[in-house]
Amino acid sequence: MHGRLAASLICSFGALGEGALMAQDDATPAQAPTATEGGGIISYPPEFFVEYQPSMALDMITRVPGFTYNKGDTAVRGLAGAGGNILIDGQRPSTKSLNLDDILRRIPVANVARIDIIRGGAPGIDMQGQSIVANIIRRSGATTSLAAELMTKFYTDDTPPARIARIEGARAGSALSLEGVLHWRQDKDQTVAGVGRLTRRDGSGTPTSWGRFEADWDRFVVGGNGAAEYRSGPDFLRLSLSGERDRQDRDDISNLHDRNGAAIDEIVATDFSSDEGAVSAEYERTMSSRLTLRLMALESRERDRTVSTSTGTGVHQISNQKALSGESIVRTSGSYLPTETLTIDGRIERTFNFLDAESSLVRGGVPVPLPSANIRVEEKRIDAEAAVRLQMGKGATLEAALGFETSTIAVEGDADRSRSLDFLKPRLNLTFAPALNWEVRLRAERIVSQLDFEDFASSASLDTGTVNAGNPDLTPEQSWLFESAIERRFWGRGALTLTLSHSELSDVIDLVPIEDRFDAPGNIGSGIRQEAKLSGTVPLDRLGLNGTLIRFNATARRSRVTDPVTLERRRISYQRPFQGDLTVIKELPQLRSVITADFYAGYRETSYRINEVRVDHASTDPLMKVSWNWTVKPGTSLLFLFENIAFRSRGRDRTLFDGPRSTGQVIGTERRNAVMDPFFLIRLRKDL
């Protein structure tokens, strides 16, 4: 039924504008982008985005055909790999201290001169190994913008409406520019909250207990960030700072009955708190038309605490985890253009990271010994790279790079270790255009993943009764990645991209036995990882559905490693075999409106423990949300959104063994699910 509902919604979107809205003129197709000379850059003027009714640069960047916005990963240590694929006036913003979404939200549409999509590279642009980046070019001259946003969510249960607010502003002058945002939210996490069923069975499949399951997750977040920029001739200076406080309360409540009819109430209550802050400084000097030098420094701190209690069947349990982490970075880089077609980039980065972690578990008033419960982890790392990029004409660009990483990791406390690691990281990228509107991108690279410091410390999961042990002997996972992508642009706003990749893995990180009774992250040897992704933007104007656009992403994944318990070949833990989404956009320019429907496919991810196989999944019914974005007048917009129309559910299946999976017998199963409640959202955004 839900599948038919999704199909009906798509058809209805196509019909909009032909029925009740037929009175309005046919929507004029958006202006086609124009390619600059050289073929490596495609420029999208503001007129291209008019029918999407954007209010900020973030709205614009998500509408660029053939471009997938990547906000970066601030969780990784160091700057290499942390930045997204967005540049602003040729500068790569520091997303370590500022959220890239916030940066783009602070740029109003009126301040955007154009968006350049750079493929393969361009003179003076630091690609940092990426094949495609977007460069947002702002209009020159003094500008001032100030906007406020108020948002609320209405839930279907008795939860009070959510309260979310933010205010953001920016002032750009000839020399000095200032920008900042303050945000506050109090709401329920709909990705976890819901009501469903929990059933436990013994090894023969006979139910032992069953009943109602409810998950409730409330959160409160307040924070802000800001930056100041100063330009004077060849000099550019940027100072940034950010801070955030996050409080979350989660309750998992199970009201069960056993086979004898006796009532069983189980409650796992978790309180999580996090405080974090960062400050950074960036300096750039243009030494000449061919040489640019950059220097950056960053300091950040984060303090987390998680307290969980479990009551019901079995003894009373308390899990307590505390962590203090920090990062210090100094980075220098430069770009040199010997000729108009040759660019040489270099960088060297020194990073110091630490984590102080404490964890404890008490069962029935008795402390449970945990491996690596109290530790301090420190890493001193130097990461350097030199890259040469040659533009060969007719849209062809070749990049060759060689990186070197050396680090020393020291562990103190319950486990004492110290070791040094060295890795060479070569990379080769080739981009070329075999024909008009066609592009091929080839990539070969050795990738060294980063260790998650939290994997060094133990933690307890009370809702499953399991302990995740810390492992001080982890080695970073390495891979040789071979990737090819082919892209076809069409119909002005259309693009299709097929990306295929194959990775040869070594020191794969998965779950391994520790002390023959705990599961912990560990290295399990070599393996392979393969991925196929098809993404597209398809305008339907030429099919008679004016103002209708379809965007989609579909990713299939495959991997093979050797299970450390059974010694059989299997998929890497937590890898999702398939992930997909579909967006249908209907533009109604005469009504200053855009209606959007989003569909997200279900997923399934499996993890393999010593004596358990666990599957986390979302139902195959798509997560659906429909929104109407109405520009009431210039500078004022309203968004109405209805999410989870199909009542999607998330669940977890556990298969338990009486010993290692290699020799043990199934002694029980547990299946639980929670149906996510739909909610209705209203957002008002107004320029002040």
The 3-class SS string of 216-234 reads EEEEEEEEEEEEEEEEECC
Confidence of residue 174 (pLDDT cuts 50, 70, 90): confident
pLDDT given at position 304: 95
Instruction: For residue 536, give Cα distances in angstroms to 67, 259, 439, 551, 575.
Output: 9, 52, 14, 6, 23
Confidence of residue 49 (pLDDT cuts 50, 70, 90): confident
pLDDT given at position 96: 66
Q: What is the pLDDT of residues 215-231, one digit of tens each?
A: 988 999 999 999 999 98
Residue 62 to residue 87: CA distance in whole angstroms: 14
Q: What is the mean pLDDT of residues 512-526?
A: 85
Residue 111 has pLDDT above 80, yes or no: yes
Instruction: For residue 541, give Cα distances in angstroms to 33, 52, 163.
Output: 16, 14, 39
Lowest mean pLDDT among 155-159, 272-276, 472-476, 519-523: 155-159
Residue 5: half-sphere exposure toward Cβ, Cα within 13 Å: 15
Q: What is the pLDDT of residues 579-598, one digit of tens each?
A: 999 999 998 888 889 999 99
Q: What is the pLDDT of residues 63-92, one digit of tens each?
A: 888 888 887 766 666 666 666 788 888 877
pLDDT given at position 624: 84
pLDDT given at position 5: 47
From 527, 535, 537, select the one nearest 503 (Cα to Cα).
Answer: 527
Residue 552 to residue 584: CA distance in whole angstroms: 9
Confidence of residue 616 (pLDDT cuts 50, 70, 90): very high
Q: What is the pLDDT of residues 95-107, one digit of tens each?
A: 666 678 878 888 8
Domain chopping of the chain, boundaries: 33-136
What does pTM read for this prediction? 0.84
CB count within 10 Å of CB 531 equals: 17
From 252, 302, 242, select the one nearest 273 (Cα to Cα).
Answer: 302
Catalogue the E-assigned strands of 85-162.
86-88, 112-119, 132-138, 143-155
Q: What is the mean pLDDT of residues 285-294?
A: 90
User: Tokens standing for 128?
Assistant: 């940092």
pLDDT given at position 125: 75
Q: Is 78 left (phi over 0), alpha (psi -120 to 50) or beta?
A: left
Mean predicted lDDT score pLDDT of the chain: 86
**Residue position matching structure tokens 């794969």:** 508
**Are 414 and 373 spatial neighbours (Cβ–Cβ below 8 Å)?**
yes
From 528, 491, 480, 488, select the one nearest 508 (Cα to Cα).
Answer: 528
Confidence of residue 622 (pLDDT cuts 50, 70, 90): low
% the chain with pLDDT above 70: 91
pLDDT given at position 82: 66
How many H-runs (helices) and E-runs (strands) does the chain carry? 3, 38
pLDDT given at position 447: 93
Residue 18 has pLDDT above 70, yes or no: no
CATH for 33-136 is 2.170.130
Sign of CA dihedral 143, 628, 224, 161: positive
From 269, 161, 154, 164, select the one nearest 215 (Cα to Cα).
Answer: 269
